[in-house]
């Protein structure tokens, strides 16, 4: 069947065509999730990678663009042009998952019986790409990092001037990149062209797109994205001065079943597939339970790498009727998914074990 023109629409604010078949529209106009039941491989194609933007995608001319590394934490500021970046440093490629801290927010709201402001994400705010670029460390060393440097903050060129600091340690890590390419193509406009940061294992908001400057600071940096947004706010997260709760950095263990929600299946033997992600850690094992019965081990089908999701599957021959599939992944430090995630005001880090609803009928309902 040919794809109808109606299935692909042009969205103001987003450059790539958004396909209803592969993407979920959150309704904000700028944020589109990747459909869990349409994930053909380990990597998410550039066309289907989820989009989360606070402002419209800026159109940047790489020939007139430059990147400045400065701030009171460097010896001497340096500026690089786009071509310099491709040539001056070793190019590094890493496969890394990006997940928005607000992924599964709608399910979190339902669980707590409360409405939550913010992009109404289902399960689609997570995707994985092979990123190619230069190590942030190499860039920082070119400017000379002072021994008393504390925080590093990429600053963006989009309308909202997105910015979020990270610790110097994280900025110097082997797999913290200034990415120039995604899955073997120059970064697409919506994903940060000409350059974006990839902060492995941290919340998506740390991976600043459309970077125009990198500031190195001797003092801890406080900006809205680490004092009031992307912060766990709630009874268990006391405020500290201007910081309203606990700022989010590394992500917890999460799992995704590659089925629609609710799912429709036929009563025959089949493989159920999914992926689990543990932020900076590696997935060690994945267990599943049908209808809240005994836990069984799923089979891991990727070797498992810190910072990227690991795929898994199990075989199932369901009886007709209503069922649930629950999945609980564990990482190599023993962290696992909880039965319940305590309330936080902005609905972040919902990594609870979900009961995925499945209806099994002889003829799938249309």
Ligand X SMILES: Nc1nc2c(c(=O)[nH]1)N[C@H]1C(S)=C(S)[C@@H](COP(=O)(O)O)O[C@H]1N2
Under the rule (CB under 6 A), what is the footprint of ligand X?
49-54, 98, 100, 156, 158, 162, 191, 204-205, 207-210
Beta 66-70 vs 211-217: how paired, if at all?
Answer: parallel
Instruction: Out of 100, 206, 221, 259, point to the residue binding Mo ion (CB under 5 A).
Output: 100
Token pair 């550039």 is at which residue? 46
DSSP symbol at 225: H
**Cis bond leading into 354, ω under 30°?**
no
The size of the chain, in residues, is 366
194 touches Mo ion (CB under 5 A):
no
205 touches Mo ion (CB under 5 A):
yes
192 touches Mo ion (CB under 5 A):
no
Closest distance of CB 289 from Mo ion, Å: 30
Task: Kindly indicate which of the ranges 19-27, 96-104, 126-134, 319-327 contains the residues binding Mo ion, using the contact rule CB under 5 A.
Answer: 96-104
φ and ψ of 109, to 5 deg: -60, -40
Q: How far is CA 16 from CA 55, 187, 318, in A?
A: 15, 12, 39
Count interface residues toward Mo ion (CB under 5 A): 4
Which of ligand X, Mo ion, none does 208 bind, CB closer than 5 to 8 A by kind?
A: ligand X
Q: How far is CA 246 from CA 38, 110, 337, 344, in A?
A: 34, 23, 19, 10
Which of Mo ion, ligand X, none does 156 bind, CB closer than 5 to 8 A by kind?
A: ligand X
Residue closest to ligand X (Cβ): 204
| CA proximity to 309, closest of 26, 50, 106, 135 | 50
Token pair 């430059």 is at which residue? 66
Task: Kindly indicate which of the ranges 48-56, 171-179, 185-193, 304-312 contains the residues binding Mo ion, using the contact rule CB under 5 A.
Answer: 48-56
Which of ligand X, Mo ion, none does 98 bind, CB closer than 5 to 8 A by kind?
A: ligand X
Which of ligand X, Mo ion, none does 356 bind, CB closer than 5 to 8 A by kind?
A: none
Closest distance of CB 105 from Mo ion, Å: 10
The pair of structure tokens assigned to 223 is: 């900006």
Instruction: Out of 71, 165, 204, 279, point to the residue binding Mo ion (CB under 5 A).
Output: 204
Which of Mo ion, ligand X, none does 194 bind, CB closer than 5 to 8 A by kind?
A: none
| Of residues 188 and 204, the one with the C-beta less far from Mo ion | 204
Residue closest to Mo ion (Cβ): 100
| Max CA separation in the chain (angstroms) | 69
Between CA 7 and CA 74 the distance in angstroms is 50
For the chain, the C-alpha Rg in angstroms (whole number) is 21
98 touches Mo ion (CB under 5 A):
no
Which of ligand X, Mo ion, none does 105 bind, CB closer than 5 to 8 A by kind?
A: none
| Of residues 208 and 325, the one with the C-beta less far from ligand X | 208
Between CA 214 and CA 147 the distance in angstroms is 17
Number of other residues whose CB lies within 10 A of the CB of residue 269:
8
Closest distance of CB 288 from ligand X, Å: 27
104 touches Mo ion (CB under 5 A):
no
Residues contributing to the site for Mo ion (CB under 5 A) = 52, 100, 204-205
């Amino acid at each position: 069947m040919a794809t109808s023109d109606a299935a692909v629409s042009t969205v103001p604010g987003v450059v790539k065509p958004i396909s209803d078949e592969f993407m979920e529209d959150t309704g904000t106009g700028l944020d589109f999730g990747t459909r869990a039941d349409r994930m053909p491989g380990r990597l998410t194609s550039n066309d289907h990678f989820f989009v989360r933007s606070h402002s419209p995608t800026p159109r940047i001319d790489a020939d007139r663009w430059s990147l400045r590394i400065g701030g009171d934490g460097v010896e001497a500021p340096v500026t690089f042009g786009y071509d310099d970046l491709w040539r001056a440093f070793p190019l590094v490629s890493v496969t890394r998952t990006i997940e928005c801290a607000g992924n599964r927010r709608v399910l979190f709201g339902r669980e707590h019986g409360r409405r939550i402001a913010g992009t109404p994400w289902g399960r689609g705010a997570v995707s994985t790409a092979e990123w190619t670029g230069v190590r942030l460390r190499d860039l920082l060393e070119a400017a000379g990092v002072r021994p008393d440097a504390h925080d590093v903050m990429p600053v963006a060129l989009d309308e909202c001037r997105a910015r979020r600091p990270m610790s110097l340690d994280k900025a110097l890590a082997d797999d913290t990149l200034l990415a120039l390419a995604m899955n073997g193509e120059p970064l697409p406009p919506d994903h940060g062209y000409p350059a974006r940061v990839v902060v492995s294992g941290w919340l998506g908001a740390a991976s600043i797109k459309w970077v125009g400057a990198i500031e190195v600071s001797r003092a801890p940096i406080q900006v809205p994205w680490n004092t009031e947004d992307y912060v766990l706010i709630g009874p268990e997260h006391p405020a500290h001065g201007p910081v309203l709760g606990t700022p989010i950095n590394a992500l917890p263990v999460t799992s995704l079943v590659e089925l629609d929600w609710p799912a429709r299946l036929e009563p025959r033997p089949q493989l159920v597939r999914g992926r689990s992600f543990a932020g900076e850690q590696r997935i060690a094992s994945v267990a599943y339970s049908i209808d809240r019965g005994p836990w069984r081990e799923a089979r891991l089908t990727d070797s498992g790498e810190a910072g990227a999701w690991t795929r898994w599957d199990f075989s199932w021959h369901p009886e007709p009727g209503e069922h649930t599939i629950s999945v609980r992944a564990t990482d190599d430090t023993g962290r696992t998914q909880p039965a319940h995630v305590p309330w936080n005001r902005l609905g972040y880090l919902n990594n609870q074990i979900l009961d995925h609803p499945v209806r099994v009928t002889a003829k799938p309902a249309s």
